[in-house]
Amino acid sequence: MIPSKRIVFPGITAFPGKLYGKVLKTGKRRNTILTGTYIHESEKEEEIQKFSVALEESLQSLRILIASLETSGPDQKEIQEILETQAVICADPSLATSVRKRITEFGENAILAVQNVTHEITEKFKAMENEFFRERVDHFQDVSNRLIEFLAGKKEEDSFLSGLKEDLILVARELTPSQMILMDKTRIRGIATDLGGKTGHMAILARNYGIPTVVGLKDFSTHVKDNEFIFLDAELGNVVRFPTLEEVKYYGFSSSYPTEENETKKRKP
């Protein structure tokens, strides 16, 4: 059933702006549940080798992204710093040691070991009172996501965010730096994510690219559908489903798009 009234989802402004547009949902690949499991003694050495290969592939992919930004000018400095931080985490011997230990001592496969090590680290950061350190959780989570995707043989498949044919508002649970770097910034006119805060990497990248963005929307992505039209109000820090006709007209879009008033008219005899 089509909602009969304007629905507002509150969040946090990462970069200001207002627009009404069509939704493109992403994160389908990253939201796919990759279940870790336990392995036999005879499988441990092979699992450790798989992890070592995935770790090197992850680090190499970060280095390629960093190198691609080195000639992009000073406006890319913050983005480069985010990726360099993640490369440092990825190259930290303690990360590899902790994962290998869980494989050897607890019989976890590489995916489960990475998930558990990441959980231990991020929980420590989340417990810190300083918001800056709490926001660093996303760096560890990005490194973990990248590792797990390489372990699962998925590699990086963010090309669908480039070469877009129309202007869109990108909606996701979260976006990684690599997704934001690779996306078509001439077509992605706004961003809305469930996770993120004022000092997180999504906010930093949104400011850098000048894209109106609202983060911290909790479960918004589960309520909206691909190709739906929404009103992103990154001035007030919220996103609106079924906006009023005034909101749509003010931002220059046709009143034939779904709005509260139009849907009400459709239901009248």
Give pLDDT tens digits for 95-131: 999 999 999 999 999 999 999 999 999 998 888 877 6
Band of pLDDT at residue 92, cut at 50, 70 and 90: very high
Please tell me the distance from the alpha carbon of residue 220 to that of residue 228, in angstroms, as a whole number.
Answer: 13
Q: Could you give the dihedral angle defined by the CA atoms of residues 202, 206, 207 and 213, in that order, rounded to the nearest 10 degrees? A: -100
- Condensed to tens digits (0 to 9), the pLDDT of residues 232-263 reads 999 999 999 999 888 887 764 433 344 444 44
Query: What are the Cα distances from residue 136, in Å, to 7, 73, 170, 214?
Result: 32, 25, 23, 19
Tokens of 7: 């629905």
Per the listing, tokens 């969040």 go with: 11
Query: Which runs of consecutive H residues, i.e. helices, occur in the chain?
Result: 28-31, 44-69, 77-91, 93-106, 110-126, 131-135, 137-151, 177-182, 201-209, 220-223, 245-250, 260-267
Is domain 7-26+160-266 classified as CATH 3.50.30.10? yes
Q: Is the pLDDT of residue 134 over 60?
A: yes
Q: Per-residue pLDDT averaged across 197-210, rounded?
A: 87
**Domain residues of the chain, as ranges?**
7-26+160-266, 41-156
- CA atoms of 147 and 56, how far apart (whole Å): 9
CATH superfamily of 41-156: PtsI, HPr-binding domain (1.10.274.10)
Question: Could you tell me the two tokens for 168?
Answer: 């869109």
- DSSP run (H or E) holding 158: none
Indicate the average pLDDT of the chain: 84
Mean pLDDT value of segment 60-86: 83
Lowest mean pLDDT among 22-36, 49-63, 105-119, 187-201: 22-36
Dihedral in degrees, nearest 10, Cα atoms 52, 61, 167, 204: 90
Same fold, 7-26+160-266 and 41-156: no
Question: Is residue 167 predicted with pLDDT exceeding 50?
Answer: yes
- Overall pTM surpassing 0.85 (yes/no): no
